[in-house]
């Protein structure tokens, strides 16, 4: 994917929140000129667009770029030079490798302790995180954080990494998701040199932050590589910090020996925030956007959305975007309208959306997916859909059977077992499923 395609994908994502007019005026004429060192360089057509993009749309753009690339970037807005061509090394000739290169240390500077609200649900995790930044490698090693989605694990990992670097700028810190680690590893083993540099990169750190460790596929070379990296760092007294969606003991794809390493240090979870904390978070997020929102409206929002903080943030964005588009203050009435009509506020992804995304990913129709056909091109997507309906929608076997065209629950169970085995053995499939999953959840954050 080149920069142009990334930008196009980001625009598609923005269309959910912003009016066509806003996109055509400010975003369409802008260009993505580079994604390097954790910074996205955006070329704006003029000073007005630069101002608007920077002051009003930064957070949406950051999210959209995250959706398009899977990484977080700081934004830098420049005015387009008068000549229309881009510098020789950018534009449509950008090699695909650019897209795959994460910023060198993977850290998103915008996630800090300062902008992380502490409350009863995450107090323990935050205090351990702070202790870890005080004395990396000494007190809690490894440090393992787990929680459901959208509750702040990723934010906290970056905050730890950033803080370690603030205190000791030459500390070598790397943040990567398990998926990224896997992809980089697979790419590296193509020749000896890249394999060696991969090893050097991950084994020379002072602190290693690995996110979403549930995505390590079992019995694979990449998990083996991570196991060895872990041991080497651990023995050298380097800090390892991990985040996952459940307690290590509940992993199915991660090997026992690695699970027991994970469990060898400090494990804390993050719970869902209570009302008071949700309200505090909304206040902070509104202030960060310099938006005036009354307490009444913030409270109404905090009362209506429980659970994921990402969802709460999304709803606030949506409200502010609509208020801006209508040039009206974000009132309680507007909030009600948003909650009634707007998609992203619903707390759950619907099964229909999951099915649609799977069909899109595999280029088949929903009728085919739900038909009785047993050809391989249909059976695999059907099993992937069953898998995602189970894990995203928490649908029962019977429900999944109904959703997939009236299949028997034993058929579904058989399919789920099969896909579990395949996922464990096949990294490519795993990455495929992960990207569909990311797409579905990304759309609904």
Rounded (to 5) percent helix, strand, coil in the chain? 55, 10, 35
- Tell me whether residue 153 or residue 390 sits nearer to Mg ion (CB atom): 153
Please give the structure tokens belonging to residue 435: 């990207």
Strand spans (E) along 193-319: 207-211, 239-244, 266-269
CB of 439 within 8 A of CB of 357? yes
The residues, ordered by sequence, that sit 6+ positions from 161 with a Cβ below 8 Å of its Cβ are 105, 107, 173, 175, 207, 209
Single residue of 154, 188, 308, 393 touching Mg ion by CB under 5 A: 154
- Tell me whether residue 90 or residue 318 sits nearer to ligand ADP (CB atom): 318
Please give the structure tokens belonging to residue 47: 């000073």
Interaction residues for ligand ADP, span 141-170 (CB under 6 A): 147, 149-155
The residues, ordered by sequence, that sit 6+ positions from 8 with a Cβ below 8 Å of its Cβ are none
Single residue of 73, 116, 175, 234 touching ligand ADP by CB under 6 A: 116
- Tell me whether residue 122 or residue 182 sits nearer to ligand ADP (CB atom): 122
Single residue of 22, 217, 281, 305 touching ligand ADP by CB under 6 A: 281
Window contacting ligand ADP (CB under 6 A); options: 116-124, 299-307, 413-421, 423-431: 116-124
Q: Output the residue with the shortest Cβ distance to Mg ion.
A: 154
The Cα–Cα gap between 10 and 40 comes to 12
CB of 113 within 8 A of CB of 159? yes
Window contacting ligand ADP (CB under 6 A); options: 131-139, 292-300, 307-315, 359-367: 307-315
Single residue of 10, 107, 309, 400 touching ligand ADP by CB under 6 A: 309
| Least spacing, CB of residue 396 vs Mg ion, in Å | 27
Strand spans (E) along 2-69: 31-36, 39-44
Interaction residues for ligand ADP, span 214-253 (CB under 6 A): none
Q: Output the residue with the shortest Cβ distance to ligand ADP.
A: 152
Q: Per-residue string for binding with Mg ion, 225-254, x by CB under 5 A? A: ------------------------------
Pick one of Mg ion, ligand ADP, none as the site partner of residue 56 (Cβ within 5 to 8 A by kind).
none
Size of the chain in residues: 445
Window contacting Mg ion (CB under 5 A); options: 38-46, 145-153, 276-284, 357-365: 145-153
Pick one of ligand ADP, Mg ion, none as the site partner of residue 69 (Cβ within 5 to 8 A by kind).
none
Pick one of ligand ADP, Mg ion, none as the site partner of residue 34 (Cβ within 5 to 8 A by kind).
none
Please give the structure tokens belonging to residue 318: 């949506």
- Of 445, 419, 431, the residue nearest 353 (C-alpha): 445
The Cα–Cα gap between 387 and 408 comes to 15
Interface ranges with ligand ADP (CB under 6 A): 116-117, 122, 147, 149-155, 281, 309-310, 313
């Amino acid at each position: 994917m080149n920069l142009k395609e990334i930008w196009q994908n980001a625009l598609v994502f923005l269309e959910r929140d912003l009016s066509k007019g806003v996109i055509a005026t400010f975003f369409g004429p802008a260009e993505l000129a580079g994604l390097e060192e954790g910074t996205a360089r955006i070329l704006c057509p003029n000073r007005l667009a630069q101002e608007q993009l920077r002051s009003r749309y930064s957070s949406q753009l950051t999210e959209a770029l995250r959706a398009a690339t899977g990484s977080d970037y700081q934004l830098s807005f420049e005015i387009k030079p008068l000549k229309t061509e881009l510098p020789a090394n950018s534009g449509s000739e950008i090699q695909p490798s650019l897209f795959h290169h994460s910023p060198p240390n993977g850290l998103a500077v915008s996630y800090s302790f300062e902008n992380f609200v502490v409350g009863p649900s995450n107090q323990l995790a935050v205090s351990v995180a702070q202790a870890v930044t005080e004395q990396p490698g000494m007190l809690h090693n490894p440090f393992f954080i787990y929680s459901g989605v959208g509750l702040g694990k990723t934010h906290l990992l970056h905050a730890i990494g950033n803080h370690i670097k603030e205190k000791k700028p030459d500390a070598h810190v790397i943040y990567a998701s398990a998926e990224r680690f896997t992809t980089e590893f697979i790419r590296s083993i193509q020749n000896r040199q890249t394999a060696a540099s991969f090893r050097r990169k991950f084994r020379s750190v002072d602190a290693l932050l690995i996110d979403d460790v549930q995505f390590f596929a079992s019995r694979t070379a990449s998990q083996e590589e991570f196991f060895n990296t872990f041991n080497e760092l651990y023995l050298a007294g380097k800090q390892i910090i991990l985040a996952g969606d459940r307690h290590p003991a509940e992993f199915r794809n991660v090997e026992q020996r690695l699970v027991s390493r994970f469990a060898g240090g400090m494990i804390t979870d993050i719970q869902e925030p209570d009302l008071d904390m949700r309200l505090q978070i909304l206040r902070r997020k509104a202030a960060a956007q310099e938006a005036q929102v009354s307490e009444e409206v913030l409270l109404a929002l905090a009362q209506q959305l429980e659970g994921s903080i990402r969802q709460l943030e999304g709803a606030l964005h949506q409200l502010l975007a609509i208020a801006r588009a209508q040039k009206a203050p974000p009132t309680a009435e507007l909030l009600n309208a948003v909650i009634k009509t707007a998609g992203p506020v619903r707390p759950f992804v619907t099964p229909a959306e999951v099915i649609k995304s799977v069909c899109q990913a595999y280029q088949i129709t929903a009728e085919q997916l739900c038909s009785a056909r047993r050809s391989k091109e249909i059976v695999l997507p059907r099993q992937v859909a069953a898998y995602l309906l189970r894990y995203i929608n928490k649908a029962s076997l019977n429900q999944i059977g109904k959703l997939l065209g009236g299949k028997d629950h034993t058929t579904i169970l058989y399919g789920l077992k099969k896909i579990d085995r395949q996922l464990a053995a096949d990294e490519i499939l795993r990455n495929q499923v992960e990207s569909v999953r990311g797409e579905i959840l990304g759309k609904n954050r």
